Structure 1
Amino acid sequence: MIRDISGFSNPLVKRLRSLREKKHRKREGLFLAEGLRILIEARDVSVLPDILVISDDARPHPLAEELIEETLAAGGDVIRTGVEILSKITAKDNPQAVVGVYRDCPTALSAVDRHSAPIWFVAQAMRDPGNLGTLMRIGDAVGAGGVILIDDCVDPFSVETVRASMGALFTQAIVPTDWTKFLGWLREGQGQLVGTSLNASVDYQEPHYTAPTFLLIGNEARGLPPEYEEACDVRVKIPMLGRADSLNASVAAAVMAYEVVNQSKARGSQGE
């Protein structure tokens, strides 16, 4: 059954609005995702919202109608409300017509199967939600297993990160941990730790990357701490031919990931 809400003072409206803040997301274990495309991406990997909020301004898109039916069938709530209230929930003047409320989905490091994917990203103190969301999207594109978050990373379930991921949040394992635990876990099994560094002398296309490859991406402003660089099995640099001395963190991650993928394809075509 679809419920209609028209009052700004409704407790549910206040609750959903509060999910824009990390402390409330953490307390409730819930996060917001905005826009039909992202919600359909989630649906396509069998993730449905606990609460689906839809605009009452017009007849829903056919895909939104499917999402409504599936959410109700799964026991979720569907709320119909006005654009003004959607704007209050999302803090946007022109809100999306569909908003989903989902259970957060962090994965414990101990539950990660390193051999389930050839590439994993390891984000160290990444602070920009756009970069982290883009990193998830790149991970989905290259068949990565997920993103391991170490040190003080931006919240992977913030509205901004979720939006930047374009739904890839729902296909990638999100693994929060710390450097010491990660490194101990990594050394208990197979895994090549690869870092990019301005101090490296090896071109990124020279090494032989082996699966599973863990691509260590440093903080946007500071890069990797020296001790993290020292722990890498391979340290490489991406050549910069202009005046800039480095690439954006997520762009560098994409360059590295596709080099790993291309090497794997080349070895496969050669029968290795």
Structure 2
Amino acid sequence: MSMITEKPKQNMPSFLRFEVDLELADLRADIAILGVPHADPYSMDQINNDQAKAPTAVRQASVKACSDLERWDFDLGGPVFDNRPIRAVDCGDVIGDPRDISGNSQRVEDAVRLIRQAKALPIIIGGDHGVPIPVLRGLSDEGPIYVIQIDAHLDWVDQRNGVSEGFSSPMRRASEMAHVSGMHQIGLRNQGSATTVEFEAAQAYGSNLVTAEYLHDHGVDKVLSEIPDAANFYITIDADGLDPSIMPAVAGPAPGGVTYQQACKLIRGLVKKGNVVGMNGHCGDHAKS
């Protein structure tokens, strides 16, 4: 198979300075960081916007946040890998071509399949929130998968400008996948792309819609208790799901969002509740530098 990823941008560090490994067909790792700069744009001005720079920005931020994996992390209650022999690598960025949207999507799916065949956990960084669509397709052999979304918006648009896999559609597309058994959408608030039609479609599917107000009123433990036990979880985090006091660089900042502590507690709780087969963190629609 030809190479489907490329090294992080020149002179840029890898995520947490992990070793870079682009040989996905012969991967030896427990955790694999995968950058995805491009998704399916609604218009030409989206192709080379700031979201394409997101994997680089996340890598830069990672080395500022964690300079040494052996140091005590108070969010985790110990070193990042708990002094265990965990091998984490940075698989670089999926090669993208603005003229080949379907090819970009297929390369993302192929990369995720190879990472899972190596029994590694894929952690996807960068791009807009349309990226989970091909990522979830790459997990079709892992079903049933219960999806956990942290987002201000519903993301159930069927199509816009003829585009059915844009950043407003990932949960709609996920609902159509046979290996996705259900979903919890957490942090919903304010207005977004959803009309009454999309809201009713999400309800008809049976999506569990958890508003930010409900989360704040009842707490993370209550929300976790309402998430069904599942063999496999996939976690997708949109930057605008977090409160703009800690994540201001999004196009549609919505007050009252999920806090950093709540997000951490949700993730830790899900890891205890079941097997997490993948996760992603992406820009909130048109994220800004």
TM-score by length of 2: 0.29
- The structure richer in helix per residue is 1
- More contact order relative to length (CA 8 Å, sep ≥ 6): 2
TM-score by length of 1: 0.30
State which structure, 1 or 2, has the greater radius of gyration over its C-alpha atoms: 1
